[in-house]
Amino acid sequence: MSYLFLDSRFTEEARVWWVGEASEEVWQDGGRAQTALATIARERSRLANDLRGVCVVGGPGRFSGLRVGVLYAHVLARWYRVPLYALTPDDVVSRASRQAFVDGIITGTHSATNYVAPVYDREPTITTPRV
């Protein structure tokens, strides 16, 4: 019974954890959010057998990384037909806080959601390419 935690709020600092009832593994600590999918794909047999929920930090954070991380969380939750949980930045600050969140899921303190909306820390700066 394990949960996948995703935090992609900052550029070049995407983090992925595999958190069980009494254990935790760091799957990715740093790097772009786009690399998280490859990291998660390497563990797909564990996901298929043991995944009980996907937990994602919805922000506030940078536009591109946060958008990608939240999208991955939605896709994985739907693909594996498991609940999706919205995290705050405080929920992932330490191993103890992640474990407390899992304990809250087990005891019913934290409930699943159908949608986690990304909250950006500023307006995106998307520009038109020069020709």
Q: Give the end-to-end CA distance of the chain in Å, rounded to a whole number.
A: 52
**Across the chain, what does the average pLDDT equal?**
92
Q: Please state the rounded mean pLDDT for residues 65-72.
A: 92
Instruction: Give the per-residue pLDDT at 34.
Output: 86
Structure tokens, 95: 């191993």
Could you tell me if 53 and 105 are in contact, meaning their C-beta atoms sit under 8 angstroms apart? Answer: yes
The share of the chain scoring above pLDDT 90, in percent, equals 76
| Best CA proximity match to 28, nearest among 8, 47, 45 | 8
